[in-house]
A and B are shown apart, each in its own frame.
Chain A
Amino acid sequence: GENVEQHPSTLSVQEGDSAVIKCTYSDSASNYFPWYKQELGKRPQLIIDIRSNVGEKKDQRIAVTLNKTAKHFSLHITETQPEDSAVYFCAASIALNQAGTALIFGKGTTLSVSS
């Protein structure tokens, strides 16, 4: 089955610096890779996603890159702000026997942005 590895587990940066979180996956059939942000005690929120036919996607300060050959994808946050502090999860899709897909999550990265 699919296995998603995420690094680092914790990341501390100064406000204004960039943060990069990396994930690898094992199932070459996976074709959808979302990133979620989870603040303490709250639900995960989808912040950006990428499909396997695209190598990079940007949304303001957030970008995701995908290397399908190497089976890894990364989240890049530029000009970090204290409110970016949260746990970030990457995920990879797996096909279900019936229609639809499920997500397998990485273990998460706790990002701390200090001002």
Chain B
Amino acid sequence: GAVVSQHPSRVICKSGTSVKIECRSLDFQATTMFWYRQFPKQSLMLMATSNEGSKATYEQGVEKDKFLINHASLTLSTLTVTSAHPEDSSFYICSAGAEKQFFGPGTRLTVL
């Protein structure tokens, strides 16, 4: 299957700081990427759809000013968690693919 990478794999930050997470499709071009959030022992919750060259589409209840998404190229989407707070601590995972979705390895965010 296609390869999707994500960086960093783990980040610990202080409350109030911003954190940027990168998602890359390594061997294919992705006009659309997806960002999910996963709490321990829970399912994958779709946060937003990242569209190359245009604005992201956010799911209901997800603050677009809190979770900034940029998809500047066909192989890179970034998610920036702005002014992070402890409740933002979670596992963030991206995926890419036309119909079959391939997931990145995820980023464990811990906000102190």
Q: Enumerate B31-49 residues with CB–CB distance to A below 8 Å.
A: 31-32, 34, 41-46, 49
Contact A43–B46 (Cβ < 8 Å): no
The main secondary structure of chain A at its interface with chain B is strand
One digit per residue, 1 when the CB lies within 8 angstroms of any chain B CB and 0 when it does not, for chain A 92-115 equals 010011111111111110100000
B: which residues have CB within 8 A of A? 1, 31-32, 34, 41-46, 49, 51, 54, 57, 93, 95, 98-106
Contact B57–A96 (Cβ < 8 Å): yes
Which residues of A have CB within 8 Å of B98? 100
Question: Nearest Cβ distance between residue B60 and chain A, in whole angstroms?
Answer: 8
Contact status of A103 and B42, CB under 8 A, knowing A43-B106, A97-B57: no
The answer to the question of A44 belonging to the interface, with a C-beta cut-off of 8 Å to chain B, is: yes
Question: Nearest Cβ distance between residue A95 and chain B, in whole angstroms?
Answer: 11
In the complex, what distance in Å separates the CA atom of A43 from the CA atom of B44?
A: 11
Q: Which of A32, A44, A96, A108 has the most CB of B within 10 A?
A: A44
Question: Nearest Cβ distance between residue B22 and chain A, in whole angstroms?
Answer: 15
Which residues of B have CB within 8 Å of A42? 105-106
Q: Enumerate A58-115 residues with CB–CB distance to B below 8 Å.
A: 89, 93, 96-108, 110
Which residues of B have CB within 8 Å of A101? 99
Contact B49–A32 (Cβ < 8 Å): no
> When the two chains form the complex, which single residue of B46, B54, B103 contacts A44, counting CB atoms closer than 8 Å?
B103
- With CB as the reference atom, state the residue of chain A lying closest to B106: A43
Q: Enumerate A6-61 residues with CB–CB distance to B below 8 Å.
A: 32, 34, 36, 42-46, 49
Contact status of A46 and B1, CB under 8 A, knowing A32-B99, A96-B49: yes
Which residues of B have CB within 8 Å of A93? 99
Question: Nearest Cβ distance between residue A93 and chain B, in whole angstroms?
Answer: 7
Which residues of A have CB within 8 Å of B57? 96-98
Contact B42–A107 (Cβ < 8 Å): yes
